[in-house]
Amino acid sequence: MEKSEKRNPFSRMMAIRGMGQVVTVTIGLIVLCIVFGILNPSFFSGKNVGNLLRQIAPTLITGIGQSFVLITGNIDLSIGSVVGMSCMLSATMMTKGINPWAAVLITLACCLLVGIINGELVARCKLPPFIATLGTMTIARGIAQIANNNYNTDSIGEAAEGFRNFFYYGKILGLYNTIWIAVVIWLIFNFLLSRTRTGRHIYAIGSNLEASKLSGVNIVRTTTKAYLVSAFCACVVGLIICATSGMGTMDAGNSYEMYAVAASVIGGVSTLGGQGILLGTVIGASIWGVLQNGLQFAGAPVAIRNIVIGIIVVVSVLMDVVLRGGKPRHRKEKGEAAKAEPK
Amino acid sequence: MELSHINKTFPGVKALDDVSFDLRSGEVMALLGENGAGKSTLMKVLSGVYTRDSGSMKIFGQEVGDLTPRKAQELGVAIIHQELNMCAHLSVAENIFLGREKTKGVLLSSREMNREARAVLDRLNINIDPETVVGDLAVSKQQMVEIAKALSTNARILIMDEPTSALTSKEIDDLFVIIHKLRDEGCGIVYISHRLEELQHVVDRVTIMRDGKFITSGNFADFTMDEIISNMVGREIKEKFPRVQCEVGRTILQVKHLNAGRMVRDINFELREGEIVGVAGLMGAGRTETTRALFGVDQKDSGEVVLDGKPVVIRRPEDAIRAGIVLAPEDRKKDGLCTKLSIRENIALPNLDILCSKLGVVDRKKEREMAAKAQKDLSIKMPSAEVDAGSLSGGNQQKVVVAKWLARNSRVVVFDEPTRGIDVAAKVEIYNLMNELKKAGIGVLFVSSEMPEVMGISDRIIVMCDGRITGELDPHKTTQNEILEYATRFESKIAKPQLA
């Protein structure tokens, strides 16, 4: 115990659970940046870096939400649709002349409702999270379509100028607001996850649901909180997209839930729960963004980009498994069971 | 089979230090030692899970090189783990032939597999239909299936790791019959167990290990129980069951007419200051279910819980914890620990209400202090409080489970099978801990299937059978037979239930 007090800040940081994987993928990220920098020196130009960060922000924000849910041992497939729903609801209300900030609040309430429904279905009704959120995913997309009678909306107009600046075009200290929003959200939720009781409960139920229940953790409430974080993040991304394009598009956020899974998993969050830190999600989302941006910059067509990114997702997790001596980082019991089975 | 001068080093630990071990066909060899003595590591070397660093290994007189689990299997080595490894959704026959399915072309030939499975089961006199789904079988039957599976691979060397830890006395007897049968057929059996009292029924020779070293080996009959224990522990254990006399004080807990499904029916009991109440009974008597209903894990149908004279409503574990009733559950891997979280986090988990500020921010300093105090109080052997709880040995894991609940001031502590699968020295430490609680005026409810310890530690014994309390006994006056008699009082057999 005394030892850990005396250790320097670096080794104390390295002692944080899951930091190992984060360091590995950070090295990967740096290598990627260098490669793209060599391929195209203007990759590091101020303008491109600004763009890159703006590209990363939505993936990071949804990734944070997905990480929360993954750490509880569940999954949230509804993220992409909630993004679309958020975008369409806010845009529709704004085109109908409702005050943009009131529209934002109403949208937020609707999105959080989806989070609550997800949490209740998964934790209280004990539906498999894959099925429950598949349902809410479809419903939320339906709401996005119905919001403006199956049409994308018109421009949200002059009245929403403040809204658009807040979420996208405004700049603080030379960086776009979108980036700051991502940073603030990360700071808040990272604190929530690593330092508070709720955060600890989220790790605990992902690691062992039954033991957590017997330790007095309220499973339903904790699970719902994780889904609420996820829905909140998706809502913010929807608003950012709305502010960016200045209109509502029905298929906004399509497959964002999967990008969010990718960002989380590349960053070391276990899909079986109980493991991962949000710093990893930042790196995961960055790798994602750098690949998109760098490949685009290098002139690779979309199809090639998809293939490369898919490979990176698998390889990054595989690398982690190999580096840990061939032992899957998931449940120990499972690993042992597999070993014991005669093959 | 002969293993000599085996060495195995893990990073930072010398797990096996020049260990030698031999087994002849047609004998049962007990491999004894405390938790972490290296028994399991040795057996994993033998079954090919680990490769040895040095030393030689002969099986049936033949020198063997590095083993893989598969090669070991081909050589006739089979291991039955403490935790059963079965696919719960598949049938008995499917499990027995898992990985070695019989096929006709590409099709599975279920009929043949069922027939052969039945042949193996019949050979062992086990009455199980090979088409039953394994998840529907009792744990003891599942274990029999594991044995059958091992035999169906024509195993000649059978390693059993704590085979009786989940079985009742009756089932253990059945198991021993099977072990004897196998021995007479010429199999060599390595038998690992912490329950020393059962060895005399089954074992021919013993090998004792301590701290990764070979200590001694010889015919079982040449050892006294005390010699075995002192060889295992490396020192004399004075009292196997230390008992502390306390003044019995006020009633702390009253449970009235507790009902919860079929396994908890009209349970009434009292717990007083300064006493440990033992709950005895056979496997499936409803003891665990009763503790779970009391603690609010499972839904209660009816019943009243009175704590210190005040009725308390317990709907969820949170309510029980807040009221001051805590439960150290039975299955530490399943219910007790988050194995992927650190020891510190595990100990803090139920106590976050104490450790958090009003806003719910965890006070890390307090948290570390709590873990350090627990380590000291319970002498938990661990490299640091930051390692995964799952990396500890069984006895130390159990101590962490207990530590979780002792870190807060409770009125009633329920221990469900706290000594299962841990070694003699760790058991005594757990007993001493219960005695400390008793002295501090905390009510202790102690559920256990091991009759000697219930009789040795409790001040009063409640016996359960089939979801009901069938008797209350004084441990000073009762006998194992009497407890067993109450524990088997099934309803159909008695016209009028007599409550002592």
Measured distance CA(A83)–CA(A232) in Å, rounded: 10
Q: How many CB pairs under 8 A join A and B?
A: 115
Residue B184 dihedral angles phi and psi, to the nearest 5°: -65, -25
CA B155 to chain centre: 26
Domain that holds residue A27: 16-321
Instruction: Determine the pLDDT at residue A136.
Output: 94
Q: What are phi and psi of A111, to 5 degrees?
A: -65, -40
- Does A339 have pLDDT greater than 60? no
Q: Which residue of A has its CA nearest to B344?
A: A1
Our CA-based measurement puts residue A193 at a distance from the nearest CA of chain B, in whole angstroms, of: 10
B114: tokens are: 């069922």
Per residue in B136-157, pLDDT tens?
887 778 888 888 888 787 788 8
Would you state the pLDDT for residue A1?
Answer: 39
Mean pLDDT, chain A, integer: 84
d(CA B399, CA B412): 18
d(CA A46, CA B411): 64
Q: Is residue A254 part of a domain?
A: yes
Residue B128 pLDDT class (50, 70, 90 cuts): confident
- What order of strands is seen across the sheet that includes strand B251-260? B264-272, B251-260, B302-307, B310-312
**B420 token code pair:** 């299962």
Mean pLDDT check: name the lowest of A117-126, A227-236, B472-481.
B472-481
pLDDT-wise least confident of A303-307, A322-326, B103-107 = A322-326
Residue B181's CB: how many other CB atoms inside 10 A? 13
Task: Determine the average pLDDT of the residues in B490-497.
Answer: 51
pLDDT of residue A328: 44
Is the Cβ of A218 closer than 8 Å to some Cβ of chain B?
Answer: yes
Q: What is the pLDDT of residues B181-210, one digit of tens each?
A: 888 888 888 888 877 777 878 888 888 887
* Range 242-281 of A in CB contact (< 8 A) with B: 274-275
| pLDDT of A207 | 87
Dist CA B72 CA B79 (whole Å): 10
Q: What is the chain A residue with the closest CA to B370?
A: A1
Q: How confident is the model at residue A239 (pLDDT cuts 50, 70, 90)?
A: very high
Which among B413, B248, B439, B402 has a CA at the least distance from the CA of B323?
Answer: B413
Q: Does B390 touch chain A if contact means CB atoms closer than 8 Å?
A: yes
Mutate to test the interface with A, among B51, B89, B151, B352 (most CBs of A within 10 A): B352
Q: Which of B69, B349, B362 sits opposite A212 (nearest CB)?
A: B349
The DSSP-derived string for B347-386 is: HHGGGHHHHB-TT-BB-HHHHHHHHHHHHHHHT---S-TT
State ipTM: 0.75
CB-CB under 8 Å, B329 with A214: yes
Say whether A197 and B384 touch across the interface (CB within 8 A): no
Q: Which residue has the tokens 């665990």?
A: B288
The pLDDT score that the predictor gives to residue B1 is: 63
Separation CA B301–CA B490 (nearest Å): 22
Question: B66 pLDDT exceeds 80?
Answer: no
The 3-class secondary structure across A176-193, one letter per residue, is: EHHHHHHHHHHHHHHHHH
Q: Which of B98, B321, B386 is the closest to A341 by Cβ? A: B98
| Chain A residues close to B69, C-beta within 8 Å | 339-340, 342
Position B370 scores a pLDDT of: 87
Chain A residues whose beta carbon lies within 8 Å of the beta carbon of residue B100: 342
Buried residues in B271-305 as b, exposed as e (16+ CB within 10 A): bbbbbbbbbbbbbbbbbbbbbbbbbbbbebeebeb
Quick one: what percent of chain A has pLDDT higher than 70?
A: 88
Q: Which of A243-252, A285-294, B256-265 has the lowest mean pLDDT?
A: B256-265
Mutate to test the interface with B, among A214, A269, A277, A336 (most CBs of B within 10 A): A214
Per CB-CB distance under 8 Å, the chain B contacts of A207 are 338-341
Query: B69 to chain A nearest CA, in Å?
Result: 7
CB-count burial class (<10 Å; 0-12, 13-18, 19+) for B490: exposed
Q: Where residue B495 falls among pLDDT bands split at 50, 70, 90?
A: very low
Average pLDDT over residues A319-328: 57
Judged by a CB distance cut-off of 8 A, whether residue B366 touches chain A is no
The pair of three-digit structure tokens given for residue A309, joined into one six-digit string? 């990114």
| Dihedral over Cα of B242, B245, B251, B257: its sign | positive
Residue B358: which residues within 8 A CB-CB, separation 6 or more?
none
The distance in angstroms from the start CA to the end CA of chain B is: 54
Residues of A in contact with B350 (CB under 8 A): 215-216
pLDDT category of residue A338 using cuts at 50, 70 and 90: very low
Percent helix, strand, coil in chain B (nearest 5)? 35, 25, 35
Of the residues A215, A217, A225, A327, the best mutation for testing chain B's interface (the one with the most B CB atoms within 10 Å of its CB) is A215
| pLDDT for residue A9 is more than 70 | no
Total domain count, chain A? 1
Residues B133, A218: Cα–Cα separation, whole Å: 33
Instruction: Tell whether the model's pLDDT for residue A330 goes beyond 70.
Output: no
pLDDT beyond 90 at B10: no
Same fold, B2-233 and B251-493: yes
Express each pLDDT in A199-208 by its tens digit: 889 999 988 8
Q: What average pLDDT does the segment B117-138 reach?
A: 82
For residue A323, pLDDT beyond 80 = no
* Residue, of B59 and A279, whose pLDDT is higher: A279
Q: What is the mean pLDDT of residues A320-333?
A: 50
Q: Which of A4, A216, A274 lies at the smallest CB-CB distance from B338?
A: A274
Dihedrals φ, ψ of B62, to 5°?
A: -105, 130
**CB-CB neighbors (< 8 A) of A332 in chain B:** 339-340, 390
Query: What is the helix, strand, coil percentage profile of chain A, to 5?
Result: 75, 0, 25
Residues of B within 8 A of A18 (CB-CB) are none
CA A159 to chain centre: 30
First to last CA, chain A: 44
Instruction: State the nearest Cα–Cα gap between B136 and chain A, in angstroms.
Output: 19
A324 touches chain B (CB under 8 A): no
Right CATH for B2-233 from 3.90.25.10, 3.40.50.2300, 3.30.10.20, 3.40.50.300 = 3.40.50.300
B352, A197: Cβ pair inside 8 Å?
Answer: yes
Contacts of B453 (CB under 8 A, 6+ apart): B241, B419, B427, B431
What burial class does residue B36 get, using C-beta atoms within 10 Å of its C-beta: 0-12 exposed, 13-18 middle, 19+ buried?
Answer: buried
The confidence score (pLDDT) of residue B497 equals 46
Selected residue with higher pLDDT from A9 and B473: B473
What residues in A contact B349, CB-CB < 8 Å?
A: 200, 204, 212, 215, 217
Tell me the mean pLDDT in the region A157-181: 84
pLDDT of A331 reads 37
Instruction: Give the closest of A198, A203, A213 to B360, CB-based.
Output: A198
The encoded tokens of residue A86 equal: 């958020």
Tell me which residues of chain B, numbers 187 to 216, contact chain A at a CB-CB cutoff of 8 Å.
none
Q: Report the alpha-carbon distance of residue B305 to residue B320 in Å, rounded.
A: 10
Of B85, B341, B384, the CB nearest to A207: B341
Q: Would you call B340 and A275 a contact, using CB atoms and an 8 Å cutoff?
A: yes
B109: contact with A, CB 8 A cutoff? no
pLDDT for B4? 63
Sorting pLDDT into bands at 50, 70 and 90, what band is B130? confident
Does residue A81 carry a pLDDT above 90?
yes
Q: Where does the pLDDT of residue A285 fall: very low under 50, low under 70, confident under 90, or very high at 90 and above?
A: very high
Residues from chain B that touch A203, judged by Cβ atoms under 8 A, are 338, 341, 345
CATH number at residue A41: 1.10.3470
Q: Do A339 and B69 touch (CB under 8 A)?
A: yes
Architecture in CATH for domain B251-493: 3-Layer(aba) Sandwich (3.40)
Predicted confidence (pLDDT) at residue B496 exceeds the cutoff of 80: no
List pLDDT tens digits, range B317-368.
Answer: 888 888 888 888 887 777 888 888 888 888 888 888 888 887 888 888 888 8
pLDDT at B478: 81
Are B323 and B353 contacting, i.e. CB atoms less than 8 angstroms apart? no
How do the domains of chain B map onto residue ranges?
Answer: 2-233, 251-493
Q: How much is the average pLDDT of A317-323?
A: 70
Q: Do B348 and A200 touch (CB under 8 A)?
A: yes
Supply the pLDDT for residue B36.
65
Judged by CB atoms closer than 8 Å, whether chains meet at A215 and B83 is answered as: no
User: Mean pLDDT, to the nearest integer, of A22-44?
Assistant: 86
Identify the pLDDT of residue A184: 95
